[in-house]
Amino acid sequence: MGKKRKVKTLGALLFILYLFILVWIILFKLQFSLRDIDTIRFVNLIPFHYANSVGGLFQITEIRDNVLIFIPFGVLLSMQAPKMKLGSKILIILGTSFALETLQYILSIGVTDITDLITNVSGGLIGILLYSFLLKTVKDKQKIDTVISVFGGIMAVLFSGLMSILLLVN
């Protein structure tokens, strides 16, 4: 197997692993037991309004976290589908975020929030733009994909180790 094929395969595996982690974070709130998940069924259609916070003001940490968690989505999607149009990539990110928000409502495991859709898509768009910027700057897709795959692989090993330790401790 050539280097280019190995990098593409590793990138695809990282994308799949990322999606599993994304579901675990959004739907299961990093819990190891379903009993530990709060049962909430609420829909918020007012952007950047939080009914459970003081005065309903937005929570910058939640906004930041939602943006950050979706940046890899944009990067990995762009890496796997470099010829896909920007609009299609955004629709995939929006559709994934919408599906996760809808599942939170159906399963009664979180607040279905328009702010999450906005910030998730914003994070994915930042990832797409970051990947495009790297392509224009470095001009070597193979090199960029290799660095992202190696970095992602290291992060996946570290994350898996940390989660294993947490699982053993609990």
pLDDT at 35: 65
2, 12, 38, 87, 163 from 30: Cα distances, Å: 37, 23, 12, 31, 9
Per-residue pLDDT band for 98 (boundaries 50, 70, 90) equals very high
Q: Which residues have CB under 8 Å from 117's CB, separation 6+?
A: 94, 97, 98, 101
Question: Which of 1-10, 13-22, 88-97 is predicted with the least confidence, judged by mean pLDDT?
Answer: 1-10
Which pLDDT value is given to residue 91? Answer: 98
pLDDT, residue 109, reads 83
Say yes or no to pLDDT of 87 above 60. Answer: yes
Position 142 scores a pLDDT of: 93
**Rounded distance between C-alpha atoms, residue 167 and residue 135, angstroms:** 39
pLDDT at residue 56 greater than cutoff 90: no
Contacts of 57 (CB under 8 A, 6+ apart): 50
DSSP string, 63-91: HHHHHHHHHHHHHHHHHH-TTS-HHHHHH
**Res. 33: pLDDT tops 80:** no
**Residue written as tokens 């459970």?**
52
Residue 92 structure tokens: 């995939």
pLDDT at 61: 87
Task: Give the residue with greater pLDDT, 107 vs 124.
Answer: 124
Distance CA 124, CA 90 (A): 7
Distance from C-alpha of 144 to C-alpha of 115, rounded to nearest angstrom:
32
